[in-house]
Chains A and B, each alone.
Chain A
């Protein structure tokens, strides 16, 4: 049993928090994992990605080979499309439809979303709207994680426990909003 995931987004969008939750859930579930992330210059609003590998056996490479990823999970639609060459032909793309427009040549959003849907399986959700509904627009990353949760080989309880650890220190409102964001993301994905 293995699962390779490309986490994608723009520097500052919180993909390292998603990775943190998955890492800890994997540890709790007794799985091996390696997760390569991007620090430094690219974190200043550049394209960032994290290679997340889960397995019940040995994981060699810290990077996912092209064609080996089972899932692309992206907080931003253009960034989801950027890593198509990593995805298996039958892989799944789970992405937010909310564009992050910090470049002058950002393509037409409809074209971006059409490109996303060229993947054989895709889940596209309005993470901004759902996060606001949950109580904070900052929880878009957790909306995405919730949307992906039914497709992960991790136990949902382990994910929720880590979200609890991650946000408990920031007060009950923040924690509740993130738990709700997870729930809304999950429902939206299952309904889509």
Chain B
């Protein structure tokens, strides 16, 4: 079989393509962006399927669901918090079910390398009561994508693959299988897909009735491996996903590893867990993310006569990403000797806006425009411009989730905070800023929204954006923002004084204003020119 070098993200994507993928949708977000990036490249070469950057994750999910309704195999991918945005269609798709295979890929970010929380997508698998996979390496990511489509069609349900940053962004060689053809068009049945209470009740009961079957499938999955050491009944390990690699790494070179169970599927393979826990006195649970398995094993009362170690017991740190070093210590092995520290004080090197970034000029002008006010109230959003929180700008007071800046400015202004300023990028605005601005326009809320139109989704590497240029201005006007309070600036040092004045005028205005700062991201400009 041919071997190909792939990122973990790309391995899932290619596995899906070879499983007969007909359509793929996503919204960019680290660490999931490379899934659709790769599919967009493949689709451009092969023209075999659409690979679409959607307006947001909810829309992406619904687009994929529509393709599944039509009987085709569809993939939708996003970062973990993207699943929050898509949670409505996601939860309900467990009730409608899938017609063509529906693969959901959610990439978690333990350690918050590029995220605002560490939520664990396995809870969503449990919440929706569907089947989930958690690969530990690239080959599994590739193979699971194919199996997930088969299972999705067999169960008639969406199936989720949980990735984590370390696997998403690790590269290795994968053995590639033959591609199989796509499905034929075959419409879904109305009685399943029309979620009127009368249908939804029946469908929900059917979903509940399948839970036992899913546990059995989980127990029989070839991806779950149980190895019992007959000689040592004192200690065993349960490890899932990437944590399994750290376990095997730490246990290597020390004779045979202790008894272990590798968990790769959800709902949990209950029978296998009973066997492992029954075999040993002390179980160490290793999982990257929340203590999902550990908590279920412990239940409310613990396991009589057994000791369960993990994040809840304090054996492992409760937050942050697992590393081979943490796992090594948890296994009771000493750290390896390493080079002593050099003694040089290591200045940190945090990320920062690129030299010449348009956001820098906007923040400089905004800071100056706000100088006359005691305390600034600038609600930030998700993108490169979140870095405006750091020195030398110190320009924003909040960053919560996609689009939050607009709604938060409205709420703060409603209760008397002035000035209330929102700063949001063009892509984030299209994703989740339009609806709150529609509400603010109807109320003519006393706030100023600054839309940074750099014509791209910059932070994640330059994906297309929907609300940019002239179209963006028309959109803002269409939402009901008074025309005389829709202003544009070009954030360049030479325009600084003019820009400060425009921002001041609009901040002073007691009503809604939108200032659009128009200048292309310098990275994209460079790409375009090279």
Residues on A lying within 8 angstroms of B by beta carbon are 10-11, 19, 23-24, 27, 32-47, 60-68, 78-79, 81-82, 84-89, 91, 102-103, 105-107, 111-112, 114-116, 118-120
Contacts and interface: CB of A to CB of B under 8 A. Distances in A.
B384 interface: yes
Contacts of B343: 115, 118
B387 interface: yes
Contacts of A43: 351
A188 B150 CA distance: 55
SS class, residues of chain B in contact with chain A: loop
Nearest to B391: A104
B162 interface: no
B167 A103 contact: no
Contact of B351 (A19, A46, A86): A46
Contact of B344 (A40, A81, A89): A81
B106 interface: no
A86 B338 CA distance: 6
B285 to A, nearest CB: 18
A177 B344 CA distance: 35
25 contacts: A23-B171, A35-B170, A39-B34, A41-B30, A41-B387, A42-B351, A44-B354, A44-B387, A46-B350, A47-B349, A60-B246, A61-B245, A61-B248, A61-B249, A62-B170, A68-B336, A78-B349, A81-B344, A87-B339, A88-B337, A88-B338, A89-B339, A103-B348, A107-B344, A115-B342
B347 A106 contact: yes
B252 interface: yes
Interface residues of B, number: 51
A67 B324 contact: no
A112 B343 CA distance: 10
B166 A27 contact: no
A66 B338 contact: yes
A60 B249 contact: yes
B342 A81 contact: yes
B370 to A, nearest CB: 24
Interface string B160-177: 000000110111110000
Contact of A40 (B31, B245, B341, B348): B31
Contacts of A32: 172-173
A121 to B, nearest CB: 11
B339 A88 contact: yes
A45 B338 contact: no
B335 A40 contact: no
B3 interface: yes
